[in-house]
Structure formats: C-alpha cells, structure tokens
Amino acid sequence: MRPFKGPNFSLILFFLIVHVFVLLPANGFHPLDPLTPSELNQVQTLIKKSHKDVTFHYVGLDEPDKPKVLSWLSRSQPPNFFQHRIAFAVVRTNSQTHEIKIDLSSNSILSDKVYDGDGYPMLNNEEQTAAGELPLKYPPFIASIEKRGLNLSEVLCEVFTIGWYGEKNTKRAVAVMCYYIDGTVNFYMRPIDGIMATVDLDKMKIIQYRDRLMIPVPKADGTDYRESKQDTHFDTRIKSMTISQPNGPSFTIDGSNVRWEDWVLHLSFDMRAGLIISLASIYDPEKNEYRRVMYRGFISELFVPYMDLTEEWYYRTFFDAGEYGLGLCAVPLVPLRDCPENAVSMDGYFISQDGAPGYIPNVFCIFERRAGDVMWRHTELGIPGQTVTEVRPETTLVVRMVSTVGNYDYIVDWEFKQTGIIKVTVGMTGLLEVRGSVYTHKDQIQEEVYGTILAENTIGAHHDHFLIFSLDLDVDGDANSFIKSNLKTSRVNGNISPRKSYWRTKVGNYVGYRLVPGSVARTLLSDDDYAQIRGAFTKYNVWVTLYNKTEKWAGGLYADQSRGDDNLATWSLRNRDIENKDIVLWYTVGFHHVPCQEDFPVMPMLTESFELRPTNFFEHNPRLIER
C-alpha cells in the first residue's frame, strides 16, 4: 500500500504465532490438484445439459478453503474429508456470462449465476481463430488488400483485445489487425498497418471497418528466424556439452507433489494462471519438522500497455493472463532446448470452446540445475602454515513454464535452493509488435512515432510488461506480518567514533522471509488514464492484502474491458488490518521496453528476477550441521 521507492529497502515477513503442521501429503489425491480430463468432461456434460448454446471460457478447480486444506494436510481428518471436489466454470450463453460451480463428487450443479458486472471473461482460442478469419472474406478488406497490390492468400489476421476508454455500454468486441506472410514466418514484422476491423465476438461479425492509411508493408528480407534460413555455422561452433545424472534425478514426483532435498511443494496447471506453486515447505533438520513457507505463488496478471497513440494502436493495453490466459497460451517445452536433458515434464489440461478438454504435453519441466555456480565458499589464508578452502557448488531445483502470448514468449522459472531461497525469474523473448511506417531511416522522422525504427518501414512501439505475482507466504503458519525496512543514514553524535555516519535499520531477529526485489519499474501512466485505472496494481511494486480466497486476479476476474472496480488497488482500499494476520504479498516485476535494433527480428531473452530469502528463519546457514 505504500510506494516502494528505491533500491535500499529490504522487506521482511515474520511470524508471531507458530503452527506446526505435518506437511507430507498422502499418496495420490491432493485437494489442490488441477482438474483431470475426466473431471473436465464431467463439467462439459453437466453444463451442456443445462444450457443449449454455450461457449466455454474458463474451467478450473474451485479450491477448497485454506483451513480445510491445512487440516487435511495435518491428517487429523478422516479419509473421506475431501469428497467434495468443486469446479468453477465461466461460460457465455445468450450474450451473457455465467459463473457456474459444479460439485464433481455428486455430479451436480451447485450454483449458476449470471455475472452482470463490467468486463468479459477470457477469450477462447476458437473464437480468436474465427474472428481472425473474418476479414479474409469481407469485401471491403479484400478491396483494401487489392488496392495495396498484396496477395490475399498470404494475409493473416490476429485478434487484439480493445481495452476500455470510458464507454458506458460495451460489447464483447476485439480489434483485428492483419499481416503479410509472403516469404517469411515472421509475419509480426510485416503489419499491414492503417487498416483495422472490429469484430463482435458474440455475433462473430465485423461491426466496424476502417482503411485509414496506405503504409508500406515492411519487407520480408531479414525477418525469418528459422534454423533452415540461417547460417548454421553460427549455432554449431560451441562444442557439445552434456548434463548427466546417471542415477536419475534427486527429486521425486508423486502426482503433483514434488520433493527435492529439504523442499516439498505442489504444482498445478491453471488455464488462466499457468503454473501454480502451492504448499512449499522446507524441512528444518534442527527442529525436525517441515516448516511452511508459501501457501501459494503464481502470476496473477501480466499487463502490457503500449505507448502508441495512433488509431490502430492506442487501445493496446493487454492483460495477458485475464484476456488470453497464461495457461491457455502455454506451449509444449522442447526437450534439450527449452529444458536440459535431465529434465522431466508434466502435462496440462484446459478446455476448448465447446468444453472438451485439451491437452498441452510437456507444459512444465522440472530439473536440477548445476550451472557451475557456487552456493557458498571461503578460502582461509590467515592461519600460519595452513590454507583452508571450502566450496560448495550450487544445485537448485527449477520448475519452468513457457507461455507464448501471440508475439511474446514468457519463460517463468521457480527455482528452489538448498539454502531455503526461492528465486523467481521471468524471461521475455519472441517478437515485438511493430508498426508499419513510411520511414526507412531515423533521420527522416519528424513527428512523434512512439517507438524506435528497427528496420526499413518498421517501428518497434514503446511498451511495458508488468507481471504481478501473488505470493501467499505463510511463514511458519498463517499469522504473518509485513515489515518494510528502510536503511537510514544516521549521523554520529559526540565523540563515540571518528566516523560521522553509518546506516541502520529497525528490523530485529524476527523469523522471516525477505523479498529481495530485482530492478523495479512501475507505471509511468497517469492515474486517470483508462489503461492505468484498469492496471492500477502497477502503481506500486509491493502490496500486502489480507488473504481472501476470491482475491486472486490483480486485474480483476473479468479483465477484458474491465473498468478497475475489481482489482488489487480497489481491494486494498478496504484498509483491512494486516498485522499478525494471514496476508498475501504482491510483487510486480516490471519492464519498460524501449525496443532496439537487436530486438529485431527476434528478441534475445531479457530477464528479471526476485528472491524470497529466509531471514533469521534458520538458526544458522542451513547447509551446515556440525557433527
């Protein structure tokens, strides 16, 4: 709730009440497991029985209440304690959004209510495909293509959500923008700019069309990134390397539970959030118990506002999780390229437009990383006649997912360290969104172009990426507090020291986990900008809220054309007491992206990370136990 201003901060969570839980789940079933294909089928059947014309937009686990999950984990419950598995579905029928809860155990609909607030659910893949095909059969568009001397068979169109700009009444509509393939696969570098169609998704019809400007389509030369189009010499100069674990990995996977070293955690896949880490706990050998660290962590939203004010661009303020689905956009990881050879993988399930389960193989990979780094070391040269050198190499556990949201590829790594550290790294690569332009050189540009000229007729638009993580840390239990600790310069008074200044902080030895932010970027938009009203969580990098099961999506449950009435910023206005309570930490990884020539035609990975570090949590370096 307060701005996080500079680098000299450390943020500490500490607990006041100790709960001791046994954290070893029973084999098989886990209450937080994602819905199985047969459960998804069950949802489809039940909903189709009660609604004739229905399209599916989201189906996922309606997770049980936290106390129930914890009490199940403590095993003080009978085996049938969790017989009620509940699914949550968002569907559209008769141009209305329905929220449906289904009891999978009794195979019945628990509730079915029409959502009458603002905003729309996630788009499904099939409606995006259908909308993208409409211009190709639309005579005015065909005429526009002919007028430009382009070949319609080489044209392809993509769907863009349109945001909200203060309209009272909205339709479920998207913008459709088209590209030219002709000689490349990198069509994103070949926009047919100046033309835009608006499609009503419920009617699946073009409701508005504008051919405003003739702008040259950037050429295909130099845009292709396929191996077959490259001088492969470049890629083969590195001699072969291998990673081998002849005795197999040191982790075990039981259902969705992973155990590695002293860590236990649960993984699940959600078509909106993608990868969800739950119930991460670490064994403390001295206390001889598992200690809770994080109840749940996931990417709650990914906000990408563009800074281009032209008619075909200004509305581009995407909510990639809430509009497109980070899980729905997840792609199968390529063995040996996306993940090392010692990786194992997991699959993910989602639902398609008609509710049938779809399958993403290799959606997560899990591997031990030994990248030649050091966990800790010391060389002691100070003892006469003796040199002591001790080095421990670092081995970590990585869980990875890649989500390709149209042009961009986001690589998300959750990395667990033997020292109790959780490190989260986000990598961005893929293709820029570029605008066609008459210019071929920067010296020709007179007016504001809202970006960088990357190649002839190609402007990479300025934009941001804000990934907000929901981090429900439960350090040694639910009751946690948050301390923002500022390092302050203190003047030395009197003659106690020749020094004139030093710094200090008020934090004591509270048991805690510390958020170590990466370089921080927050929004540069004005508060009254519609995009900012919707993405208000970008105003600060750190927020703390009281845990509330339904407050999951920092940009609102219905992010498409949302109006900012259900987001992290509005929830926090309730000013709930957060001291010694079950609290959730929200942290935004932000990038201001000023495209550069090297981002063309495909962007080298740009990464940012943060850490959650045990701080006075263990009695000492947890990697040393004296004999």
Ligand X SMILES: *[C@@H]1O[C@H](CO)[C@@H](O)[C@H](O)[C@H]1NC(C)=O
Transcribe 111-169 into DSSP letters. Answer: EEEEE-SSSB-PPPHHHHHHHHHSGGG-HHHHHHHHHTT--GGGEEEEEEE----S-SS
When CB distances are held under 5 to 8 angstroms depending on the partner's kind, the choice from Cu ion, ligand X, none that residue 593 binds is Cu ion
Residue 444 binds ligand X (CB under 6 A) = no
Residue 118 binds ligand X (CB under 6 A) = no
User: 193, 262, 308, 320: which one is catalytic?
Assistant: 320
**Strands, sheet with 195-200, edge to edge from the N-terminal-most edge strand:** 155-161, 173-180, 195-200, 205-211
Residues in contact with ligand X, total (CB under 6 A)? Answer: 7
408 is catalytic: yes
Q: Which two tokens stand for residue 608?
A: 């940012």
At residue 570, the 3 state secondary structure works out as helix
CA proximity to 544, closest of 454, 481, 601: 481
Give the type of residue at 570. Answer: T
Strands 434-436 and 451-455 turn out to be: unpaired
Residue 316 binds Cu ion (CB under 5 A) = no
Encode burial over 260-299: b for 16+ CB neighbours within 10 A, e otherwise: bbbbbbbbbbbbbbbbbbbbbbbbbeeeeebbbbbbbbbb
Quick one: which segment of 151-159, 191-199, 321-329, 491-499 binds ligand X (CB under 6 A)? 151-159
Rounded-to-integer distance, Cα 564 and Cα 223, Å: 38
Q: Which two tokens stand for residue 394?
A: 């670092």
CA dihedral 295, 14, 292, 566 (to 10 degrees): 0
263 vs 571, beta carbon nearer ligand X: 571
9 vs 313, beta carbon nearer Cu ion: 313
CA proximity to 291, closest of 623, 626, 625, 614: 614
Residue 151 binds ligand X (CB under 6 A) = yes
Instruction: Tell me how far, at minimum, the Cβ of 593 lies from Cu ion, in Å.
Output: 3
CA proximity to 420, closest of 401, 400, 399, 397: 397
Instruction: Tell me how far, at minimum, the Cβ of 532 lies from Cu ion, in Å.
Output: 18
Using CA of residue 415, residue 417, residue 422, residue 424, what is the dihedral sign? negative
74 vs 151, beta carbon nearer ligand X: 151
129 vs 151, beta carbon nearer ligand X: 151
Residue 8 binds ligand X (CB under 6 A) = no
* Cα–Cα distance list, 110 to 6, 39, 105, 116, 124 (Å): 48, 15, 11, 19, 24
- Where residue 76 falls (left for φ over 0; alpha for ψ -120 to 50; beta otherwise) is alpha
Residue 179 binds ligand X (CB under 6 A) = no
Instruction: Tell me how far, at minimum, the Cβ of 530 lies from ligand X, in Å.
Output: 21
489 vs 575, beta carbon nearer ligand X: 575
Instruction: Tell me how far, at minimum, the Cβ of 574 lies from Cu ion, in Å.
Output: 34
- Scan residues 556-585 and list those touching ligand X (CB under 6 A): 571
Quick one: which segment of 202-210, 217-225, 294-302, 591-599 binds Cu ion (CB under 5 A)? 591-599
Please identify which residue in 550, 577, 619, 625 interacts with ligand X, judged by CB under 6 A: 550
Instruction: Tell me how far, at minimum, the Cβ of 129 lies from ligand X, in Å.
Output: 19
501 vs 550, beta carbon nearer ligand X: 550
Residue 291 binds Cu ion (CB under 5 A) = no
338 vs 551, beta carbon nearer ligand X: 551
When CB distances are held under 5 to 8 angstroms depending on the partner's kind, the choice from ligand X, Cu ion, none that residue 548 binds is ligand X
Q: Cα 25 from chain centroid?
A: 27
First-to-final CA distance of the chain: 46
Residue 435 binds Cu ion (CB under 5 A) = no
Residue 105 binds ligand X (CB under 6 A) = no
Please identify which residue in 129, 153, 250, 621 interacts with ligand X, judged by CB under 6 A: 153
Instruction: Tell me how far, at minimum, the Cβ of 205 lies from ligand X, in Å.
Output: 27
Please identify which residue in 320, 551, 560, 599 interacts with ligand X, judged by CB under 6 A: 551
When CB distances are held under 5 to 8 angstroms depending on the partner's kind, the choice from Cu ion, ligand X, none that residue 200 binds is none
Instruction: Tell me how far, at minimum, the Cβ of 135 lies from ligand X, in Å.
Output: 16
Place of tokens 């295909």: 220
Residue 99 binds ligand X (CB under 6 A) = no
Residue 593 binds Cu ion (CB under 5 A) = yes
Residue 193 binds ligand X (CB under 6 A) = no
Quick one: which segment of 150-158, 358-366, 457-465, 508-516 binds ligand X (CB under 6 A)? 150-158
153 within 8 A of 130, measured Cβ to Cβ = no
**353 Cβ contact list (under 8 Å, min separation 6):** 55, 56, 124, 125, 126, 127
Quick one: which segment of 81-89, 353-361, 545-553, 599-607 binds ligand X (CB under 6 A)? 545-553
Transcribe 15-30 into DSSP letters. Answer: ESS-------PPSS--
Q: Which two tokens stand for residue 121?
A: 């659910």
When CB distances are held under 5 to 8 angstroms depending on the partner's kind, the choice from ligand X, Cu ion, none that residue 106 binds is none
When CB distances are held under 5 to 8 angstroms depending on the partner's kind, the choice from Cu ion, ligand X, none that residue 190 binds is none
435 vs 593, beta carbon nearer Cu ion: 593
Residue 478 binds ligand X (CB under 6 A) = no
Residue 627: count other Cβ atoms within 10 Å of its Cβ: 2
User: 290, 408, 513, 547: which one is catalytic?
Assistant: 408
Instruction: Tell me how far, at minimum, the Cβ of 546 lies from ligand X, in Å.
Output: 7
587 vs 591, beta carbon nearer Cu ion: 591
50 within 8 A of 277, measured Cβ to Cβ = no
Residue 548 binds ligand X (CB under 6 A) = yes
284 vs 551, beta carbon nearer ligand X: 551
Rounded-to-integer distance, Cα 380 and Cα 436, Å: 61
When CB distances are held under 5 to 8 angstroms depending on the partner's kind, the choice from Cu ion, ligand X, none that residue 153 binds is ligand X
Residue 154 binds ligand X (CB under 6 A) = yes
> Which residues contribute to the site for Cu ion (CB under 5 A)?
593
Active-site amino acid positions: 320, 408
> Which residues contribute to the site for ligand X (CB under 6 A)?
151, 153-154, 548, 550-551, 571
